[in-house]
Amino acid sequence: MSLFASPLSIDEGLVVAAIGRAESGTSGEIRVVISRKNIADPISAAQEQFERLGMTRTAARNGVLIFLAPRSRTFAVIGDRGVHEKCSDLFWQELAAAMTTRFRTGDFTAGLVLGIERAGALLAQHFPRGDDDHNELPDGIAKAD
């Protein structure tokens, strides 16, 4: 079942599978949050959800959150301190631009999967998965309050 009634259509199975694939090569954690509200400041809303979901409690501070608010046509992708130490602002700008292209066509699933794959590749490069690594956070799509 989709989190939203039409016209928003997200294949949750594809998104969750993408998170699992992305996290299989990294100790990093990726979460997706979808809000039903109009969001004026998606970065602030994403930061609030980042805290609410406990993403600052990962061992290497290497979580990435994709926050989508389709009603207001906004989204944000944010990373924890460890991720910001390893990547440039250009990475986030390019990631957001690529996702925006998919979102503008209404393909929210493809936009989310693309963002997850690119974030996962960055995390795998800088935070490779160790033998003792375990999934610190759930992979499912979360709803914003």
Tell me: the pLDDT tens digits for 1-57? 333 333 568 999 999 999 999 999 999 999 999 998 999 999 999 999 999 999 999
The pLDDT score that the predictor gives to residue 22 is 97
On the question of pLDDT at 104 being above 60, the answer is yes
The pLDDT score that the predictor gives to residue 2 is 37
pLDDT, tens digit (0-9, with 9 covering 90-100), for 63-79: 999 999 988 889 999 99
Evaluate whether residue 46 is within a structural domain.
yes
| CATH code, 36 | 3.10.310.50
Evaluate whether residue 114 is within a structural domain.
yes
Q: How far apart are CA 110 and CA 88, in angstroms?
A: 24
Range of the domain at 121: 12-129
